[in-house]
Chains A and B, each alone.
Chain A
Amino acid sequence: MDPVWWEYIPYILQGAIWTFTLVGGGLALGFAIGVPVAMGQKYGPTWLKAVLDVYVWFFRGTPLVVLLFLFYWGIFPVLLGIKLDALTTSVIVLGLRSGAYQSQIFRGALNSVDEGQMLAARALGMSKWQAITNIILPQALRIAIPGWTNEYAIILKDSAICFTLGVVEILTRTRYVVISTGEALGPFLFAGVLYIIFTYGGTKVFNIIYEKYHIPGLVGKGM
């Protein structure tokens, strides 16, 4: 007798480790890229702004699956001559793309901190850099948390696209189960519900972080 699909639920659930490696890695790399890019776009010289605009335009305007294949088969092995595995490539691509999106979240947050605060900080003798790191960023990072929560939900669902490179995350494993049991409806519904649970669970965690670091009265203008 053929095995039934629910016997493979633990196998699918183990894919969550890979899914969250993709999500965590992508979000962290995107954060490390997005914050400096946003600061460059707001405070940098004109030529830097132009370069950063092209970066953001490219990564926001190109589908993830095209980026994954471009980097996995093209840019890394052919252009740069390095062979990276599917997981590393996926994390880098998710991170580069998320960086483009996160830079826009942070740029909005930076813009929502009143200009007068920068002037006041400079008047107190702070350098531009000190004013940004000590006055503007602590507020902007807090204001950006809700935007970041959305980004988590987006990157979680987009991590499923990494099945195209064979990263053994939730969807790849679900497809293996579909192939070996010949049943499709149950496994794919299960995977879908799993993503919904992870979306809501993660959103809850971000809301707790938001509440914890929330400063009463600090609400971004127009956010």
Chain B
Amino acid sequence: MGFWEEFIPLVLHGAVNTLWVLVISIPASVALAIALGSARVYGNAALKAVATAFVVTFRGFPLVVTLFLLFFGLADLGIYLTPYQTATLAFVLCGGSYMSEYVRGAIRSIDIGQSLAARALGMTKFQELIYIILPQAIRRALPGISNEIIYQIKYSSLAFVVGYEEIFAVSKTFISRYFMPLQVFMVDAALYLAMTTAAAYGLRALEYKLRIPGLEMSIR
């Protein structure tokens, strides 16, 4: 078998593994971001402090360090995660923390009058958050979240450090058999460019579909 006949199926297998992580980690990151962002604005002092410490930690750690900590560090404590679990969890912790900053900013950008009006109508703080604030805030945070999703697609290549068989991991192994690094890594670049470009267009379409005319005008 020649180089291409062997490499293409292998790298596509890697791509499926990459997508298999992202399909879980992206929605989970967004969910965590909404929870963290809400907690930092609406939570009591203790919750705010915990959420802030969480965000500072996982935004501050390089993603590779988080991956190593979850895989090797937790093993010191007797917790053994698989490479797949490690990668997914690390992306959620890191991505959720970054995205939460956009959610927090978006929540704070919603006019305080809406909050007061909701409370005057007899809503609890929680109802106000769920029914009034978040539907608007999530739309406003979406461009920032989209950026982070695109980052997460690219940074998924770091899952190789804990031995997860994604695109880059299979390529790195493959060049030890066929030393054709230029071709191999250009194929990798093309795959990532295809994923990031497709995601950029898809997310822009989503923003357009979810838009409420007039809401985006007052973002800043």
Q: Which residues of A contact B (CB under 8 A)?
A: 57-58, 60-67, 69-70, 73-75, 78-79, 157-158, 160-161, 163-164, 171, 175, 178, 183-185, 188-189, 191-192, 195-196, 199-200, 222
Contact = CB atoms under 8 A, between A and B. Distances in A.
A158 B62 contact: yes
Chain B, interface SS category? helix
For chain B, give the interface size range. Answer: 35 or more
26 contacts: A57-B193, A62-B193, A63-B192, A66-B185, A66-B192, A69-B171, A70-B189, A73-B175, A73-B181, A74-B184, A74-B185, A74-B186, A78-B181, A157-B63, A161-B62, A171-B64, A171-B65, A178-B68, A184-B68, A184-B72, A185-B74, A191-B65, A192-B61, A196-B56, A196-B61, A200-B60
A185 B193 contact: no
Nearest to B194: A61
B172 interface: yes
B69 A61 contact: no
B57 interface: yes
A70 B56 CA distance: 33
Main SS of chain A's interface residues? helix
Nearest to A156: B62
Interface string B30-61: 00000000000000000000000000110011
Contacts of A62: 154, 188-189, 192-193
A70 B220 CA distance: 40
Contacts of A175: 68
A157 B184 CA distance: 26
Contacts of B160: 65
Given A58-B193, A66-B185, A188 B73 contact: yes
A192 B182 contact: no
A75 B181 CA distance: 9
Contacts, number: 115
What are the 6 tightest A-B residue pairs by CB atom distance, in nearest-first order? A196-B60, A73-B181, A184-B72, A74-B182, A70-B185, A63-B157
Interface string B190-206: 00110011000000000
B137 interface: no
B76 A78 contact: no
A200 to B, nearest CB: 8
B158 A161 contact: yes
The residue among A65, A183, A195 with the most chain B CB atoms within 10 A of its own CB is A65
A200 B60 CA distance: 9
B97 interface: no
B181 A70 contact: yes
Contacts of A171: 62, 64-65
Nearest to B72: A184
